[in-house]
Amino acid sequence: MTDEQFREEYKPIHIPAHYNDATTEQDKVMYALAQIGEGTALDVNNELKKKSANIDSAIILKQLFDTGHIKGSVINGDMHYNLSKITHANDGETDPGLLAPGLD
């Protein structure tokens, strides 16, 4: 794989803020996943149907998962995909005494 092929394959994905009928199927799937936060390919398909889009998201989601663009985990035998967005603020604190020397 050349550097250019690598950059094309692993470039950051775009998460559309709004649904657009004229965009790619991948953008539509990413929009739907962002709307539901986390779910199976069936959940994403159901969200897409609300926009009258008839797309089978399973292949697109698997490709994005396999390349590390989205996260996922198996729950009750079904793959649940998500965008790894931080939705809760960190409520922990740092103990300065545990920092490595020179970092304080």
3-55 confidence digits (pLDDT tens): 888 887 777 888 888 999 989 999 999 999 999 999 999 999 999 999 988 89
* The pLDDT of residue 33: 95
Per the domain annotation, does 93 fall within a domain? no
Range of the domain at 43: 38-85
Per the domain annotation, does 56 fall within a domain? yes
Per the domain annotation, does 24 fall within a domain? no
Per the domain annotation, does 53 fall within a domain? yes
Q: What is the pTM of this model?
A: 0.74
Residue with tokens 């790619």: 24
Do 64 and 28 contact (CB within 8 A), yes or no? no
User: How many structural domains is the chain composed of?
Assistant: 1
DSSP string over 42-93: HHHHHHHHTTT----HHHHHHHHHHTTSSEEEEETTEEEEE-----S-----
* The pLDDT of residue 48: 95
Per the domain annotation, does 8 fall within a domain? no
Per the domain annotation, does 98 fall within a domain? no
Per the domain annotation, does 49 fall within a domain? yes
